[in-house]
């Protein structure tokens, strides 16, 4: 036979359980940071092939190609962050105003694949996917991922951070990647010919199975140059304090 | 190595003076050790504040006083020792047999020949420049190097004046990346000094200078 207190507890148990679950849901639904964010969103409609420049300071930049001819730029920013826009013909510049407070701005951008892309950042990772236009990236403290690229020119410079490239090389293309502190991890199709110039100051160079078909100009441990298959696109890789890794797709 | 030993290396690490192996060890340790990171941050602060101190130029009379003191200590002692050595040498009685004499003459000829070869080599080697890199700037344009160094000095001074107003994250990012660039630059200079004719080393060094300019320009506008 149940006591009076046990019976009342059992009656209230389902209600208490629901209350606890709702409290947990409310806690998890709260934003991870207490700082409020503002939203920037703009659609641009270039008439021809656009030249898009994003100049950020602190935050991520994610760019991916889509099948529309418009450019969609969205950003979640800290309240103190000011974004300026300038559009002259098909040249579009979006810049975060520099201030010593350095609020965060995270960009999500969709572009036509053939857009000419220039990305500048100080702190924050950069991610570009499935783009076919020329790319230039200039950052200080960023990991850079370039996936599914089919661009004629790629120029990436970071002071600290890893650069990951997985894409195709054009016949007369130029691909230059430099990191002062960080690794360069490059994946290209096995059948792609290229001219390679890989240099490192205090890191290592590992060309994997590409080395067996590399007709060399130089084969020093920290300075390798040569032609793979019949040569063609220029692949220039420089890592001062980091590894250079070449993989076959 | 224990923390005390790592902490002795942190100052050289900040100045980019460590060998690569030591540098990697220190970085690995700093990644795991909060107290040593605090020491590093304190040293960075000291470096920062010391750059802000006004330069103290010594008075013009100071060198004259130092020079006079040095002159008082040395001359009699040195000349007396030289005289004594000469007297002792003249007092020696050298008795050499013919084979000994021939061997001495041959040795002297060899020494003189080597000396002439070395002298000729030195006279065709370009003089060491102020940066201490013998011949290194013959391939690299000296004008390029001077321009880059001037640009670096100008940008660095501008940043040092403003840095105290930056938020801690920005300042830490700048200082961390400056350390990376300075370490690479120091390593490049080392390599060029050891191999002045190495074009690849010179090109890496020039690009390292350009990377330092790029870093400084990135922060200069704050």
One domain, residues B142 and B205? yes
The distance of B50 to chain A (nearest Cα, Å) reads: 22
Tell me whether residues B177 and A180 touch, CB distance under 8 A: yes
Kindly state whether residue B110 falls inside one of the protein's structural domains: yes
Give the alpha-carbon dihedral of A236, A238, A242, A243, to 10 degrees. 20
Tell me whether residues A100 and B169 touch, CB distance under 8 A: no
Tell me whether residues B167 and A100 touch, CB distance under 8 A: yes
One domain, residues B172 and B115? no
Strand order in the sheet with A214-220: A83-88, A91-96, A51-55, A116-123, A135-141, A153-160, A174-181, A234-241, A194-200, A223-228, A214-220
Tell me whether residues A240 and B221 touch, CB distance under 8 A: no
Model confidence at A180: pLDDT above 70: yes
Is the model more confident about A91 or about B143? A91
Q: What is the C-alpha to C-alpha distance for residues B91 and B51, in angstroms, rounded to an integer?
A: 61
pLDDT, mean of residues A59-70: 97
A155 has a chain B CB within 8 A of its CB: no
Residues B172 and B206: beta-carbon distance below 8 Å: no
Write out residues 16-35 of B within 8 Å (CB-CB) of A.
Answer: 20
Instruction: List, in order, residues 6 or more apart from B128 with CB less than 8 Å away.
Output: B134
One domain, residues B148 and B192? yes
DSSP string, chain B: --HHHHHHHHHHHHTT-S-HHHHHHHHHHHHH-HHHHHHHHHHHHHHHHHHHSPP-PPPHHHHHHHHHHHHHHSHHHHHHHHHHHHHHHHH------HHHHHHHHHHHHHHHHHHHHHHHHHHHSPPP-TTS-TTGGGTS-HHHHHHHHHHHHHHHHHHHHHGGGS-HHHHHHHHHHHHHHHHHHHHHHHHHHH-TT-HHHHHHHHHHHHHHHHHHHHHHT-
Quick one: pLDDT band at residue A169, thresholds 50, 70, 90?
Answer: very high
Contacts of B15-19 with CB under 8 Å at 24 or more apart are B15/B182, B16/B179, B16/B182, B16/B183, B16/B185, B16/B186, B17/B186, B18/B183
pLDDT, mean of residues B162-183: 93
| pLDDT for the residue A120 | 97
Model confidence at A249: pLDDT above 60: yes
One domain, residues B108 and B160? no
Structure tokens at B30: 């700093």
Nearest to A194 by CA among A230, A231, A145: A231
Model confidence at B182: pLDDT above 90: yes
One domain, residues B153 and B172? yes
Kindly state whether residue B10 falls inside one of the protein's structural domains: yes
A243 has a chain B CB within 8 A of its CB: no
pTM: 0.66
pLDDT, mean of residues A22-42: 67
Span of A117-131, B81-95, B147-161, B193-207 with lowest mean pLDDT: B81-95
Residues B39 and B14: beta-carbon distance below 8 Å: no
A160 has a chain B CB within 8 A of its CB: yes
Q: What is the C-alpha to C-alpha distance for residues A237 and A245, in angstroms, rounded to an integer?
A: 10
pLDDT tens for B93-139 read: 656 677 778 777 787 887 777 767 665 655 444 433 334 443 444 45
pLDDT tens for B3-51 read: 888 888 888 888 777 766 677 788 778 878 888 888 887 887 677 566 5
Domain count, chain B: 3
Tell me whether residues B222 and A100 touch, CB distance under 8 A: yes
- Measured at the alpha carbon of residue B49, what is the angle toward residues B44 and B52, in degrees to the nearest 5? 135
B93 has a chain A CB within 8 A of its CB: no
Kindly state whether residue B215 falls inside one of the protein's structural domains: yes
Minimum CA–CA partner of A218 in chain B: B200
B211 has a chain A CB within 8 A of its CB: yes
Q: What is the C-alpha to C-alpha distance for residues B126 and B132, in angstroms, rounded to an integer?
A: 12
For A211, the 3-state DSSP assignment is: helix
**Domain range holding B101?**
96-125
Pairing of the two strands A71-77 and A38-44: antiparallel
Nearest to A236 by CA among A205, A208, A212, A191: A205
Kindly state whether residue B142 falls inside one of the protein's structural domains: yes
One domain, residues B120 and B142? no
Length of chain B: 222
Model confidence at A29: pLDDT above 60: no
One domain, residues B161 and B181? yes
| pLDDT for the residue B55 | 56
Tell me whether residues B162 and A180 touch, CB distance under 8 A: no
Kindly state whether residue B91 falls inside one of the protein's structural domains: no
Q: What is the C-alpha to C-alpha distance for residues B221 and B170, in angstroms, rounded to an integer?
A: 12
| pLDDT for the residue B130 | 35
Tell me whether residues B180 and A160 touch, CB distance under 8 A: yes
Write out residues 36-95 of A within 8 Å (CB-CB) of B.
Answer: 58
> Domain boundaries in chain A?
33-142, 146-249
Kindly state whether residue B183 falls inside one of the protein's structural domains: yes
Residues A241 and B18: beta-carbon distance below 8 Å: no
Is the model more confident about A177 or about A18? A177
Q: What is the C-alpha to C-alpha distance for residues B118 and B77, in angstroms, rounded to an integer?
A: 34
Structure tokens at B8: 């002795």
The distance of A120 to chain B (nearest Cα, Å) reads: 10
| pLDDT for the residue A201 | 93
Q: What is the C-alpha to C-alpha distance for residues B204 and B192, in angstroms, rounded to an integer?
A: 9
Model confidence at B215: pLDDT above 70: yes
The listed range with the strongest mean pLDDT (A141-155, B8-22, B42-56, B76-90) is A141-155
Q: Helices B3-14 and B20-32: crossing angle, nearest 10°?
A: 120
Tell me whether residues B191 and A201 touch, CB distance under 8 A: yes
ipTM summary value? 0.84
The distance of B1 to chain A (nearest Cα, Å) reads: 23
Quick one: pLDDT band at residue A8, thresholds 50, 70, 90?
Answer: low
Kindly state whether residue B170 falls inside one of the protein's structural domains: yes
One domain, residues B154 and B188? yes
Nearest beta carbon to residue A141 from set B177, B183, B211: B177
pLDDT tens for A196-235 read: 999 999 999 999 989 888 987 888 889 999 999 989 999 9
| pLDDT for the residue A197 | 95
Residues of chain A with C-beta less than 8 angstroms from the C-beta of B211:
157, 159, 178, 180, 240
């Amino acid at each position: 036979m149940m006591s009076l207190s046990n019976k009342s507890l059992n009656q209230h148990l389902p209600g208490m359980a629901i209350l606890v679950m709702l409290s947990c849901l409310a806690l998890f639904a709260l934003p991870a940071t207490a700082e409020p964010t503002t939203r920037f969103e703009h659609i641009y409609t270039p008439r021809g092939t656009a030249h898009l420049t994003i100049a950020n300071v602190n935050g991520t930049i994610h760019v991916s190609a889509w099948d529309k001819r418009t450019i969609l730029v969205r950003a979640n920013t800290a309240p103190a962050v000011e974004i300026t826009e300038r559009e002259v013909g098909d040249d579009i510049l979006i810049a975060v105003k520099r201030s010593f407070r350095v609020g965060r701005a995270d960009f999500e951008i969709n572009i036509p694949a053939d857009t000419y892309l220039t990305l500048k950042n100080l702190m924050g990772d950069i991610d570009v996917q499935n783009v076919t236009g020329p790319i230039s990236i200039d950052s200080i403290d960023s990991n850079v991922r370039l996936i599914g690229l089919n661009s004629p020119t790629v120029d990436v410079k970071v002071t600290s951070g890893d650069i990951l490239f997985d894409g195709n090389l054009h016949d007369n293309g130029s691909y230059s990647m430099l990191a002062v502190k960080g690794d360069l991890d490059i994946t290209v199709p096995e059948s792609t010919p290229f001219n390679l110039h890989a240099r490192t100051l205090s890191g290592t160079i590992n060309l994997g199975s590409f080395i067996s078909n590399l007709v060399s100009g130089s084969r020093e441990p920290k300075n390798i140059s040569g032609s793979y298959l019949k040569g063609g696109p220029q692949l220039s890789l420089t890592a001062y304090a980091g590894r250079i890794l070449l993989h076959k797709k | 190595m224990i923390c005390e030993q790592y902490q002795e290396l942190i100052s050289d690490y900040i100045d980019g003076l460590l060998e690569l192996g030591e540098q990697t060890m220190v970085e690995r340790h700093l990644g795991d050790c909060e107290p040593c990171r605090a020491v590093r941050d304190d040293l960075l602060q000291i470096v920062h504040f010391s750059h802000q101190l006004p330069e103290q130029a010594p008075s013009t009379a100071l060198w004259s006083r130092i020079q006079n003191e040095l002159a008082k200590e040395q001359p009699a002692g040195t000349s007396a020792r030289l005289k004594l050595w000469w007297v002792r040498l003249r007092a020696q009685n050298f008795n050499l047999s013919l084979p000994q004499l021939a061997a001495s003459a041959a040795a002297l000829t060899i020494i003189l020949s080597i000396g002439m070869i070395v002298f000729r080599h030195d006279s065709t080697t370009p003089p060491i420049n102020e940066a201490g890199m013998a011949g290194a700037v013959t391939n690299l344009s000296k004008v390029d190097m001077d321009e880059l160094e001037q640009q670096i000095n100008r940008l660095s001074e501008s940043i040092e004046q403003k840095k105290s107003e930056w938020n801690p994250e920005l300042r830490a990012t700048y200082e961390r990346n400056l350390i990376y660039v300075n370490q690479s630059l120091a390593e490049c200079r080392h390599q060029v000094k050891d191999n002045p004719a190495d074009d690849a080393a010179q090109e890496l060094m020039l690009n390292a200078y350009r990377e330092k300019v790029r870093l400084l320009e990135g922060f200069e506008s704050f």
